[in-house]
Amino acid sequence: MLDLTTKEVKERKALRVNPCKTCQPVGAMYAALGVSRCMPHSHGSQGCCSYHRTVLSRHFKEPAIAASSSFTEGASVFGGRSNINTAVKNIFDMYDPDIIAVHTTCLSETIGDDLGSYIMDMNIPDGKTVVHCNTPSYVGSHINGYFNMMMGFMNYLTKKSGTSNGTTAIFPGWVNPGDIRELKRIAKFMEVPSVFFPDQSGVMDAPMTGKYEYYPEGGTSIEEIKGLGDSNGLIALGEIISIEPAELLKKKWKVPFSLLPLPVGVDFTDKYIMALREQSKTEVPAELEDERGRLVDLMLDSHQYTYDKKAAIFGDPDTVIGLTSLCLEMGMVPKYVITGTPKEEFTRKVQALFDKYGVKDCTVKANADLFEFHQWIKNEPVDIMIGTTYGKQIARAEDIPFIRAGFPVLDRYGGTLLPIVGYSGGIQLVEKITNAILDRFDRDCADEDFEIVM
C-alpha cells in the first residue's frame, strides 16, 4: 500500500503528508464530553461536526454527542449569530443539557464570529450555562483544542470563595477513560480527595444498560469546575497539554501546581505518586509498592528480549513522551520519535530523555508527519512501531510488529478501557511490547530456534 514511499528525505516546510494529528475541535469536543450533562457544540458547518463526532465515536466505540450551528452560505457571509442563538434555544428545549460548550471551527474563525459577545447577549434559561472557546484549526492540533476548551470552562466558571474545599484538582491530560479510572484508583490509595477535570470516565466508556442516555453518569460537574479555584493544589499531568490550563488556574486563583509527565512507566508513575504524597502526607501503601515491584520484575525478566531493540514511536506529545520513557526503561532504543503537534517543548523533553539514558543516534521531531517518519524507517529499519492506527500501513509495508497506543485507535477494540498509565498500565504495555517482539522471533526463526520456553 505504501510500497512506493521513497527513501530520499527532502526538507519540506509548507506540506504535511499523512499528518500525525487532527484538528482543534476534536480536542475541544473530547474535553467537553468530560463535563457532566454537557452538550458540545460546534459553531460551523455540519460537515466539521460530523467529522469530529465520527473520529471520537470510532476511537471510543461510543456515541459522541454534539450539536452544530449548521452554517450554510448565508452564515458564511453574514456571520453565525442567528444560527448560534437558534441552536442554543433548540438544544436546551430538546436535549436539556445543563451546559453547552461551544467551540469554533475554521469557518467561524475566518469570518470572525465574536462568540463571547454573542453569548453575553443570549437569552439563556435560568440554571443553564453556555461557555465557549476558540479553536481555529489552522494552528496547533487537537491537543490545543483540548486545553483551549478546558480554559474556556475555567474562564467562565471558576471562582474563589476564600475557603479551601479540601480537594486536590487533577488534570489527567488527554487519556482514555481506562486511564482516568487508574489515575483515580491511585489517588484513592494515596488518600487524596480529588476532582478530575475533565473526566470522560463513565461517559466515553458508559456501561451497556439497554437504555440510551444522552448524558451517561460521569463527567466533572459544573459545581466541581466552579470549585477548582478553591483547591488545595493542582496536579497537572501531561507537560504539553496541561501547562496552559495549570498556569491559568494559578494566575486567576493562585492555586499552586505540579506539572508532571503522563505517568507512563516506572519513573513517571513514581512522580505522580510523589506529587499525591505531597498533598496527603500519606505513606505509599504496600499495594502500590507491590505493583511497582511487579512491573520492575517483569521488565527485568523480559529485558533479554527487549534490550537494544529499536522502536519508532508516534502520536500525541504527552503520550509519546511517556512511551519513550517506558521504552528506555526497558532497555530499548527509541530510534524515531515524532508528534504532529507543533510544540518544540516536545523535542526538548524527548531529547532530555535520550541524554538521561545515554542513547545515541535517535531522532525526535515535533510538527512531523508520517510520510517522513516512514522514510526514516526505510533508511534504517526498527524492530517495533508504537502509535496510533495511522501507522498500520507503514507497519505492513515494512513488515514491522506494531503496538497500538494513543489516539486514535480506530481498528481495534478494548484499548480505551485498559490503562497505559500507572504501574498496572506499564505491565500491560511491557507485556504487549515484549510479546510482539517474541511473536516476530517465533515467526522468523529457524526450526532449531523455535523454543517452547523463552
Would you tell me which residues interact with ligand SF4 (CB under 6 A)?
23, 25, 48, 51, 105-106, 137
**Shortest distance (Å) from residue 12 CB to ligand SF4:** 20
The residue (of 4 and 15) whose beta carbon lies closer to ligand SF4 is: 15
The residue (of 51 and 305) whose beta carbon lies closer to ligand SF4 is: 51
Residue 39 has phi, psi (to 5 degrees) of: -105, 110
**Shortest distance (Å) from residue 58 CB to ligand SF4:** 15
The residue (of 146 and 272) whose beta carbon lies closer to ligand SF4 is: 146
Can you give 370-427 as a three-state secondary structure string?
HHHHHHHHHHCCCCEEEECHHHHHHHHHHCCCEEECCCCCCCCCCCCCCCCCHHHHHH
Task: Classify 220 as helix, strand or coil.
Answer: strand
Is cis: bond before 193, omega within 30 of 0? Answer: no
The residue (of 18 and 351) whose beta carbon lies closer to ligand SF4 is: 18
Residue 234 has phi, psi (to 5 degrees) of: -135, 130
The residue (of 339 and 347) whose beta carbon lies closer to ligand SF4 is: 339
Q: 243-253 and 142-157 are packed helices; what angle lies between their axes, rounded to 10 degrees?
A: 20
- In 18-98, the DSSP E strands lie at 38-43, 67-68
Cα separation, 44 vs 32, in Å, equals 17
Which residue type, as a one-letter code, is found at position 31? A
**Shortest distance (Å) from residue 103 CB to ligand SF4:** 9
**Shortest distance (Å) from residue 23 CB to ligand SF4:** 3
The residue (of 135 and 339) whose beta carbon lies closer to ligand SF4 is: 135
Q: 344-357 and 317-329 are packed helices; what angle lies between their axes, rounded to 10 degrees?
A: 0
Q: Which of 218, 33, 34 shows the shortest CA–CA distance to 42? A: 33
Q: Are 325 and 265 in contact (CB under 8 A)?
A: yes
**Shortest distance (Å) from residue 51 CB to ligand SF4:** 5
The residue (of 106 and 243) whose beta carbon lies closer to ligand SF4 is: 106
**Shortest distance (Å) from residue 22 CB to ligand SF4:** 8
The residue (of 71 and 196) whose beta carbon lies closer to ligand SF4 is: 71
**Shortest distance (Å) from residue 49 CB to ligand SF4:** 8
Q: Are 429 and 264 in contact (CB under 8 A)?
A: yes
Chain position carrying cell 529499536? 310
Task: Classify 168 as helix, strand or coil.
Answer: strand
The residue (of 105 and 144) whose beta carbon lies closer to ligand SF4 is: 105
Cα separation, 184 vs 419, in Å, equals 11
DSSP string, 4-34: T--S-----SS--SSBS---HHHHHHHHHTT
**Shortest distance (Å) from residue 129 CB to ligand SF4:** 24
